[in-house]
Amino acid sequence: MSFIQVIGVYQTFFIKNPNTLSSYIPIKALENINIEIAQNITFSIVGESGSGKTTLGNIILGSLKPSKGDVLWKGKSIFSKEVRKEYIKNVHTVSQNPFSSLNPRMNVRSIIIEPLIFRDKLTKKEIENRLLSVIEEVKLSKDILYKYPHELSGGEKQRVSIARSIISRPSIIVLDEPVSSLDVSVRAQILNLLKEIKIKHNLTYIFISHDISTTRFISDYLMILYKGITMEIGESEKIFSNPTNPYTKLLLFSVPGQEIIKEFPKVQRNEEGKCPFYSRCPIAKEICKTEPLPPKKISENHISYCHNV
Ligand SMILES: Nc1ncnc2c1ncn2[C@@H]1O[C@H](COP(=O)(O)OP(=O)(O)OP(=O)(O)O)[C@@H](O)[C@H]1O
Ligand code: SF4
Ligand SMILES: [Mg+2]
């Protein structure tokens, strides 16, 4: 049994029709998502803006119930009453933008210990000990504890977010673009820190990024999403060494200095197909217009969804 299973998940949002304002337009954010996540691995979700990464992250966090499908944790639905309370204690998040995710009116100390106040009945001494140990783990000095978010650098803010996310000792952390707002020089430090913390606490990471190259450093498994549909999924190194889906190739081609994909012809068709990538795909066939994407097994733990592989 997998640690986390995402089973046949669909998410449709309804937004007001700007023309009538009285009717609603459906936005298909996710379509038939199926994932198996083992414990203690980093599972990355990669795709362009609007591909459904945050929506899927929120569903795995349990903060959004999908329109259809389920998420199981140790075999049981995270949305069931009996599991929900326990699951919420076990999962935490670090979000994209440390500038807006930290409460500006709280000092660092209060921000970090807040999850403990809500979740656990610990003594003052126990809270203090936990605080000092997470501060040390994320390599922040004690001087920072009485500062406010606006007095911190981007890297320090993200370290505070990470300290906050691990203080209640969860087993799963959803990291939604944790380094994308940081300077390149700070990114590697934060990624290294996340790796260290994961090993120390036997954590399972769901790592969300629009940048496929960042995920290579940290992922064990990788899922490529496009317009809410899975394009390729599998062991990270298998996908990087043998990318098969045209959309994965486009993402890799867009990475400066990436030698795997040397060429990617630019295409723009004025019609949509069943394959969400049809209008941009250089090797599209007639069948891509009308038939849903078939799963093609490339090797053990590596599946590509495409009519042309
Ligand atoms: N609450 C909502 N109401 C209506 N539409 C939504 C809502 N949340 C997300 N969407 C739509 O669902 C789709 C997926 O959004 P999502 O935020 O999951 O994408 P993303 O991959 O995280 O993008 P980004 O990289 O920009 O963060 C988008 O078309 C978005 O506009
Ligand atoms: S299914 Fe067709 S259009 Fe879609 S990525 Fe594969 S070849 Fe391209
Ligand atoms: Mg997002």
Q: What is the pLDDT along the chain (309 residues), one digit of tens a residue?
A: 789 999 999 999 999 888 887 788 999 999 999 999 999 999 999 999 999 999 999 999 999 999 999 999 999 999 999 999 999 999 999 987 766 778 999 999 999 999 888 666 888 899 999 999 999 999 999 999 999 999 999 899 999 999 999 999 999 999 999 998 888 889 999 999 999 999 999 999 999 999 999 999 999 999 999 999 999 999 999 999 999 999 999 999 888 766 677 788 888 999 999 999 999 999 999 999 999 999 999 999 999 999 999
Q: Which residue has the tokens 């060494």?
A: 241
Count: domains in the chain = 2
At residue 69, what is the residue type? G
Centroid of ligand 2 to alpha carbon of 275 (angstroms): 6
Q: Write the DSSP assignment of 53-118 as a string of letters.
A: HHHHHHHHHTSS--SEEEEEETTEETTSHHHHHHHHHHEEEE-S-HHHHS-TTS-HHHHHHHHHHH
Ligand 1 probe mutation, 51, 64, 96, 226, most atoms within 8 A of CB? 51
Look up the domain containing 251 and give its range: 244-309
Clarify whether residues 216 and 304 are in a common domain. Answer: no
Residue 138 · residue 163 · CB < 8 Å:
yes
d(CA 141, ligand 3 centre) in Å: 31
Residue 250 beta carbon below 6 angstroms from any ligand 2 atom: no
**Phi/psi at 189 (5° precision):** -65, -45
C-beta separation of 222 from 239 below 8 A: yes
Q: How far is the CA of 9 from the centre of ligand 1 (A)?
A: 15
Last residue of one domain, picked from the residues 241, 265, 280: 241
Distance 254 CA to ligand 3 centre (A): 19
| Best CA proximity match to 283, nearest among 295, 267, 262, 298 | 267
Pocket of ligand 1 (CB under 6 A): 13, 15, 27, 29, 47, 49-55, 210
CATH code of the domain in which 126 resides? 3.40.50.300
Which segments of 219-285 does DSSP mark as H helices, in order?
Answer: 236-241, 246-253
